[in-house]
């Protein structure tokens, strides 16, 4: 009997469909061993440190103290017992650094149990039996299909210690920063705070964007447009009416910033004769997007489905373990030749030869891909299984939505380009030139799979230069320039990837952590920094400028990649970081001043001391009311956020916004528990004519 160890029960069920009775398949239930939660768990030994050549000779050794994770004792005993019965142990965890680390920890635990068994055997009276040698093999596959699993079993390998050491290096770095820097934040900012090597830099992005918005001065401008109509109906399939927008005034680019200017131009347009001055047509071709990698999957899921990165990865994990998609943690756009062939056959059979390009499309990954992890893009394992074939109980709703997104992107990437006719019409009216842009679809190509996008295409009526148009109406719209938008899940992931901060497998954890720690909060899917987040970022930038640099954080990620590729010893990388960081910790602890967390005033006197003012503070569990004289005054009260203009649908009282234990917003009646009305969606007050306000 051969023992195969994977991470999850879902994976065991999937593998059981392809492996016969010679295999026993068991799950480790994720990680089984980790650094302890109650202490740092890393012993740091200084090996060499020359004062004259500190940077060249400084060297440390980092010795971890790994422990079984809580609740894993029973499962580990089962794995050890099964390993003793097996001819060989096949470690089949995920094909990335975390998966490699899981395989290594499982092997080490089983080996330690064997060593302990030999030791106990020697100590036992009259016992001469020696536990048999356990044979370990490591296999990795990027899709849970019969072909992929059998191929992996035919080509087992040793555990890749470069990948393991890269995972350990990241874990050690995060532990060193978290356990050494957090106490300083407690002392200098506020008790209960914690710091993260990558998370703090992500919060910096959000804080800096918020301050850009705060400093932004909007500029008034006026959009002026006219609704015009052709004098004759030339094509019943196209609209006669269309909008033209002011582009030039007196042969100069129109930049209208005052109402008085807008009124003058409106007078001209009201009296003017509208004539088609120019028509320009050009053919435009658009290429399909590459298949998904992790970051683009998370971005598309946020934009199309409105999902968080955490939810996307959770649903993708289920799809992978069920054998529906290839491994979902990847930096690669690469598709296996067999997959490309299957997609091209599907396109030709389903849509026709004109939707199939002459040759396969090959996409290159722009960023750096570690050799051991350069597997495929995220794609369906069976192209012929369309989203429509998943019905009833066969696939959960969320899984079907994400599968559909992945399937369409994969099929589209091997389809022919879409072809459009771009048309620009210039209409003159007095001293004004107005323009309209239209798009005519000549061939939808890959866009055929994205029907909703076609709704954006607008056609212009047929016209000729010199033709007169009828004016239906003219209007001016007052507008103001807008600052850069706040980050949401999709744009934050895009910015993190652009700056090289973190890696695809860490984005979901980064975002979840900064929300859970109350450094940022999400309102209507946009990120706002809290007062605590701003205070922590300011303190860290002032005292740890190197560690808070985007470039430094990106270089650390590159170093972890180099460790995974076997180009850099992991202890050398940790030593280089720790030497400077440890000295800075000592200096900041002794010399830096304590900083205060800004508060928001309510304008009310403190009911307890009558001298202080009631302010809004950010705490571990959200906002609360407190006295400005704290800690001299201990007044404290819950902060209630009322939703203006709406009342409870059940009893008519005010509606308040609350948060669940998982930090999700919901809305409820202020009279809870007497009234149990609640809603996930923000209620909107209806006016007398039932139109939304």
Q: What percent of the chain has pLDDT over 70?
A: 90
Q: Is residue 270 within 8 Å of residue 226, measured between CB atoms?
A: no
Q: pLDDT tens digits for 631-643?
A: 789 898 888 888 8
- The answer for residues whose C-beta is within 8 angstroms of residue 690's C-beta and 6 or more apart is none
With 60 as the cut, is the pLDDT of residue 691 above it?
Answer: no
If one compares 367 and 199, the residue with the highest pLDDT of the two is: 199
What is the predicted pLDDT for the residue at 616? 85
What is the predicted pLDDT for the residue at 687? 41
Q: Is residue 423 within 8 Å of residue 437, measured between CB atoms?
A: yes
Q: At what angle do helices 97-123 and 161-188 cross, to 10 degrees?
A: 100
Residue extents of the structural domains in the chain: 2-32+69-159, 164-216+486-591, 220-287+418-480, 294-412, 600-679
Annotated active-site positions, please?
327
Question: Peptide bond preceding 342: is omega within 30 degrees of 0, i.e. cis?
Answer: no
Q: pLDDT tens digits for 100-111?
A: 999 999 999 999
What is the predicted pLDDT for the residue at 451? 67
Q: Is residue 219 within 8 Å of residue 570, measured between CB atoms?
A: no
Q: How confident is the model at residue 44 (pLDDT cuts 50, 70, 90)?
A: very high
With 90 as the cut, is the pLDDT of residue 326 above it?
Answer: yes
pLDDT (average), residues 346-365: 93
What is the predicted pLDDT for the residue at 232? 73
Helices (H) and strands (E) in the chain, counts: 17, 25
If one compares 445 and 628, the residue with the highest pLDDT of the two is: 445
If you count them, how many residues does the chain have? 693
What is the predicted pLDDT for the residue at 693? 20
- The answer for residues whose C-beta is within 8 angstroms of residue 119's C-beta and 6 or more apart is none
- For tokens 């901060």, what's the residue? 501
Q: Which own/partner pairs from 8-12 qualify as long-range (CB within 8 Å, at least 24 positions apart)?
A: 8/321, 10/318, 10/321, 10/322, 11/144, 11/321
Q: Would you call 138 helix, strand, or coil by DSSP?
A: strand
- CA dist 673 → 490, 659, 668, 677, 678 (Å): 37, 16, 10, 9, 11
Q: What percent of the chain has pLDDT over 90?
A: 68
Q: pLDDT tens digits for 211-224?
A: 999 999 999 999 99
Q: pLDDT tens digits for 520-537?
A: 998 889 999 999 999 999
What is the predicted pLDDT for the residue at 692? 25
Q: pLDDT tens digits for 534-545?
A: 999 999 999 999
Give the whole-angstrom CA distance, residue 574 versus residue 60.
Answer: 8
What is the predicted pLDDT for the residue at 523? 86
Q: Is residue 423 within 8 Å of residue 439, measured between CB atoms?
A: yes
pLDDT (average), residues 295-304: 95
pLDDT (average), residues 273-298: 95
What is the predicted pLDDT for the residue at 497? 94
Q: pLDDT tens digits for 132-156?
A: 788 999 999 999 999 999 999 999 9
- Average the pLDDT over each of 198-207, 396-405, 563-572, 611-620 and give the range with the smallest value: 611-620
Q: DSSP labels for 522-571?
A: EETTEEEE-HHHHHHHHHHHHH-TTTT-HHHHHHHHHHHHHHHTTSS-HH
With 80 as the cut, is the pLDDT of residue 611 above it?
Answer: yes
What is the predicted pLDDT for the residue at 54? 46
Task: List the CATH code of the domain at 220-287+418-480.
Answer: 2.70.20.10
Q: How confident is the model at residue 236 (pLDDT cuts 50, 70, 90)?
A: low
The candidate with the shortest Cα–Cα distance to 294, out of 181, 448, 402, 445, is 402
- 220-287+418-480: same fold as 164-216+486-591? no
Q: Which fold has domain 2-32+69-159?
A: Rossmann fold (3.40.50)
What is the predicted pLDDT for the residue at 603? 83
What is the predicted pLDDT for the residue at 43? 95
Q: Is residue 618 within 8 Å of residue 517, measured between CB atoms?
A: no
Q: Is residue 614 within 8 Å of residue 602, measured between CB atoms?
A: yes
Q: Which fold has domain 294-412?
A: Topoisomerase I; domain 4 (1.10.290)
Q: How many CA atoms lie within 13 A of 429 on its CB side?
A: 27
If one compares 552 and 368, the residue with the highest pLDDT of the two is: 552
Q: pLDDT tens digits for 369-410?
A: 554 445 789 999 999 999 988 764 556 889 999 999 999 999
- The answer for residues whose C-beta is within 8 angstroms of residue 461's C-beta and 6 or more apart is 230, 234, 235, 238, 239, 240, 242
What is the predicted pLDDT for the residue at 638? 85
What is the predicted pLDDT for the residue at 623? 80
Give the whole-angstrom CA distance, residue 91 versus residue 93.
Answer: 6
What is the predicted pLDDT for the residue at 106? 97
Instruction: Write phi, then psi, for 537 (nearest 5 degrees).
Output: -60, -45
With 80 as the cut, is the pLDDT of residue 159 above it?
Answer: yes
If one compares 684 and 616, the residue with the highest pLDDT of the two is: 616
Q: Is residue 413 within 8 Å of residue 445, measured between CB atoms?
A: no
- Average the pLDDT over each of 49-63, 200-214, 568-582, 593-607 and give the range with the smallest value: 49-63
Q: pLDDT tens digits for 654-677?
A: 999 887 766 677 899 988 889 989
- To which CATH superfamily is domain 164-216+486-591 assigned? Topoisomerase I, domain 2 (1.10.460.10)
If one compares 460 and 65, the residue with the highest pLDDT of the two is: 65
- The answer for residues whose C-beta is within 8 angstroms of residue 209's C-beta and 6 or more apart is 484, 486, 487
H runs (alpha helix) in 20-160: 54-57, 73-85, 97-123, 146-154
């Amino acid at each position: 009997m051969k023992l195969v160890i994977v991470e999850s029960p879902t994976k065991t069920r999937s593998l059981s469909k392809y492996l016969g009775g010679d295999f026993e398949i068991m799950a480790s239930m994720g990680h089984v061993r980790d650094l302890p939660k109650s202490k740092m768990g890393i012993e740091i030994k200084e090996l060499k440190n020359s004062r004259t050549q500190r940077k060249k000779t400084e060297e440390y050794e980092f010795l971890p103290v790994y422990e079984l994770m809580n609740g894993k004792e029973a499962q580990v005993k089962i794995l050890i017992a099964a390993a003793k019965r097996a001819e060989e142990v096949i470690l089949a965890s995920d094909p990335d650094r975390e998966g490699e680390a899981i395989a290594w920890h499982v092997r080490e635990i089983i080996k330690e149990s064997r060593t302990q068994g030999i030791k106990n055997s020697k100590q036992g009276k009259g016992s001469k039996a020696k536990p048999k040698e356990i044979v370990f093999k490591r296999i990795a596959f990027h899709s849970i299909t019969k072909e992929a699993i059998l191929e992996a079993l035919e080509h087992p390998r040793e555990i890749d210690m470069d990948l393991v050491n890269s995972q350990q290096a990241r874990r050690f770095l995060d532990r060193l920063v978290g356990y050494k820097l957090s106490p300083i934040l407690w002392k200098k900012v506020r008790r209960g705070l914690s710091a993260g090597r990558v998370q703090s830099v992500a919060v910096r992005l959000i804080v800096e964007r918020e301050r850009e918005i705060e400093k932004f001065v909007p500029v008034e401008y006026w959009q002026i447009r006219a609704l015009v109509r052709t004098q004759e109906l030339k094509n019943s399939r196209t609209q006669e009416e269309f909008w033209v927008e002011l582009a030039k005034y007196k042969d100069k680019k129109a930049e209208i910033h005052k109402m008085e200017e807008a009124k003058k131009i409106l007078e001209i347009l009201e009296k003017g004769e509208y004539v088609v001055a120019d028509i320009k047509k050009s053919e435009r071709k658009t290429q399909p997007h590459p298949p998904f990698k992790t970051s683009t999957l998370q971005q598309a899921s946020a934009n199309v489905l409105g999902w968080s990165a955490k939810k996307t990865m959770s649903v993708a994990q289920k799809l992978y373990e069920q054998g529906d998609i290839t491994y979902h943690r990847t930096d690669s756009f690469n598709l296996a030749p067999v997959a490309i062939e299957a997609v091209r056959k599907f396109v030709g059979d389903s849509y026709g030869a004109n939707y199939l390009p002459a040759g396969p499309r090959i996409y290159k990954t722009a960023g750096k891909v570690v050799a051991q992890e350069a597997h495929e893009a995220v794609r369906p394992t069976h192209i012929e299984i369309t989203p429509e074939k998943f019905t009833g109980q066969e696939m959960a709703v969320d899984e079907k939505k994400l599968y559909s997104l992945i399937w369409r992107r994969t099929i589209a990437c091997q389809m022919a380009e879409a072809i459009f006719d771009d048309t620009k019409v210039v209409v003159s009216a007095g001293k004004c030139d107005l323009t309209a842009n239209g798009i005519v679809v000549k061939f939808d190509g890959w866009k055929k799979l994205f029907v909703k996008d076609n709704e954006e295409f607008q056609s212009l009526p047929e016209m000729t230069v010199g033709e007169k148009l009828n004016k239906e109406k003219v209007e001016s719209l007052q507008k103001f320039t807008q600052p850069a938008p706040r980050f949401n899940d999709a744009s934050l992931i895009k910015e993190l990837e652009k700056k090289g901060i973190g890696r695809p497998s860490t984005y979901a954890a980064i975002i979840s952590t900064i929300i859970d720690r109350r450094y940022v909060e999400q309102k209507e899917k946009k990120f706002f920094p809290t007062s605590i987040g701003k205070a922590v970022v300011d303190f860290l930038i002032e005292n740890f400028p190197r560690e808070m640099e985007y470039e430094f954080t990106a270089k650390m990620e590159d170093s972890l990649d180099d460790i995974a590729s076997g180009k850099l010893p992991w202890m050398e990388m940790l030593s280089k970081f720790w030497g400077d960081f440890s000295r800075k910790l000592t200096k900041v602890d002794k010399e830096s001043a304590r900083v205060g967390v800004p508060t928001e005033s309510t304008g009310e006197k403190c009911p307890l001391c009558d001298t202080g003012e009631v302010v809004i503070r950010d705490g571990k569990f959200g906002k609360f009311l407190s006295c400005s004289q704290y800690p001299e005054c201990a007044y404290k009260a819950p902060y209630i956020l009322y939703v203006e203009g709406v009342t409870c649908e059940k009893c008519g009282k005010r509606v308040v916004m609350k948060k669940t234990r998982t930090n999700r917003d919901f809305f409820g009646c202020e009279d809870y528990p007497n009234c149990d009305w609640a809603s996930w969606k923000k209620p909107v007050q209806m006016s007398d004519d039932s139109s939304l306000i």
